[in-house]
Amino acid sequence: MLEDRHPSTVADYEDARRRARLAETRVGQHWITLRRARVVLLRAALVPILLLALFAQYWAGDIAPERARLARTQPAVLPIAGPADAQGRDTAVFDITGLGTLDASDTARALPSLAGLGSVWAVRYDNAGIDTKVIGNLIIKVADAARVHNIVLVGHSMGGVIALEIAKQIHTASTKTLSGVILDCTPVDLDAVWPDSRDAGERLLRWIGWLPGARESRTMRMIAEIVSRQSDFVDHSTMPPGIRTSRLGATVGEVLRTKIFNTDAASNGLIESQFEAIVGGGAIEDLRALAKPAGVKPRPAIAFIRPHDPYRDPVVDDAYSHQVLIDLVGGVDGTLLVVLTRHTGHADPIQQPGEYNTVLSEQIVPFIRDLHSEELAAVH
């Protein structure tokens, strides 16, 4: 009787029967013709289904929410400070930030000396991308509402490229007078960007161009940001190169804090627009347009801030930009002032506000005011 059997015998019997039953019901068990090939093809067909499911999760969890958020963003000009004196009541100063950032408000607040020129405003980009004509029109509307006639633009790093494009629009196609443009470590073209930084930007553009949804994806942004910082954690003293795990962890933490979870960080699409503004190389043509009067409007002053030691700037070859500026707007009858700083790096007013405000108040503000008066007298 079954009850007299040893328990292990019953277990073995039941397990064997279970295995036999599984074999009988396995997909393809009764296939005779090309059975192995048909099984391989069936398994292969499951791969795209799995990938499609993963892609749907990627789109729904990463792309769609960010795309909806970016659709609600728009450019803005935000008030920072009033003019420091009565002479600045007819001038508005607009601060424009650089690559990878969204809002110039913190930078403008770190530069109270700008109020020596007039009322101070900060430009906030549309996080979906940059349209300089839209920003230029917005600046003109703000100047109209504030009842000021003169405009000064301040551009930090890549923001200087944007500032020059807007400056040309204001100088040649508006009723406002462009008194000056202040460029802070600005690359006048792609050759002015050091190779390492240029390569990092080009890598990010490739990622954005190749991968679906990469313009909005925070996952792709994190990967690209970490890869662009590989020199911080890759040890090239060994073969093959090794990874410094502690530095990699610090890099990942910095990227998450400043780029992924920071709501003020620029989106992938905005960074693409910013970098393409440099690649386009329009700054040189903009400078040529600013080097001559526009009808009865005088030439604007151009002030360039750069470190005395060009190697203190790890992003831009400031000596290269310096030479181009001399060729285009400098010279005996030019409108260029170059200020060499001792302790600043790449476009870092928030890190070095003391030296920035000193050169602004003691050199740049008087230069723009005096040259504006001289140029007005010359055209009239």
pLDDT of amino acid 372: 94
d(CA 218, CA 248): 19
pLDDT of amino acid 297: 94
Q: Which residue has the higher pLDDT, 127 or 334?
A: 334
Q: Is the pTM of this model over 0.85?
A: no
Residue 299: what are its φ and ψ, rounded to 5°? Answer: -70, 140
pLDDT of amino acid 227: 76
First CA to last CA across the chain, in angstroms? 122
pLDDT of amino acid 319: 96
**pLDDT confidence of 111, banded at 50, 70, 90?**
very high
d(CA 271, CA 273): 5
pLDDT of amino acid 35: 62
Name, in order, each residue with C-beta under 8 angstroms of 202's C-beta and a sequence gap of 6 or more: none
pLDDT of amino acid 302: 98
Instruction: For the chain, give the mean pLDDT.
Output: 85
**Bond prior to 240 in cis (omega within 30° of 0):** yes
Q: Edge-to-edge strands of the sheet including 91-96? A: 76-81, 119-124, 91-96, 150-156, 177-184, 301-307, 336-341
**pLDDT confidence of 27, banded at 50, 70, 90?**
low
Domain residue ranges in the chain? 2-71, 76-192+279-379, 195-263
Angle between helix 268-280 and helix 195-210 axes, rounded to 10 deg: 130
d(CA 329, CA 336): 6
**Mean pLDDT (whole number) for 96-101:** 87
**pLDDT confidence of 236, banded at 50, 70, 90?**
confident
Count of all residues that appear for the chain in the document = 380
Write the CA distances from 100 to 46, 82, 127, 185, 227, integer angstroms: 40, 28, 10, 15, 15
Q: Which residue has the higher pLDDT, 374 or 5?
A: 374
168, β-bridge pairs? none
**Mean pLDDT (whole number) for 342-353:** 93
Name, in order, each residue with C-beta under 8 angstroms of 250's C-beta and a sequence gap of 6 or more: 232, 233
Chain Cα centroid distance, residue 253? 19
d(CA 329, CA 338): 11
76-192+279-379 — its CATH code?
3.40.50.1820
Question: pLDDT tens-digit profile of 246-302?
Answer: 888 998 898 888 777 776 677 777 777 777 777 776 899 999 999 999 988 999 999
Coil, helix or strand for 159? helix
pLDDT of amino acid 60: 72
Most confident residue range from 45-49, 134-138, 235-239: 134-138
**pLDDT confidence of 1, banded at 50, 70, 90?**
very low
Query: Contact at 8 Å (CB) between 127 and 70?
Result: yes
Range in 18-22, 241-245, 300-304, 366-370 the model is least confident about: 18-22
Written as one letter, the residue type at 133 is: K
Q: Which residue has the higher pLDDT, 22 or 198?
A: 198
Question: pLDDT tens-digit profile of 162-182?
Answer: 999 999 999 999 999 999 999
Query: Contact at 8 Å (CB) between 341 and 359?
Result: yes
Most confident residue range from 36-40, 234-238, 260-264: 234-238
pLDDT of amino acid 142: 96
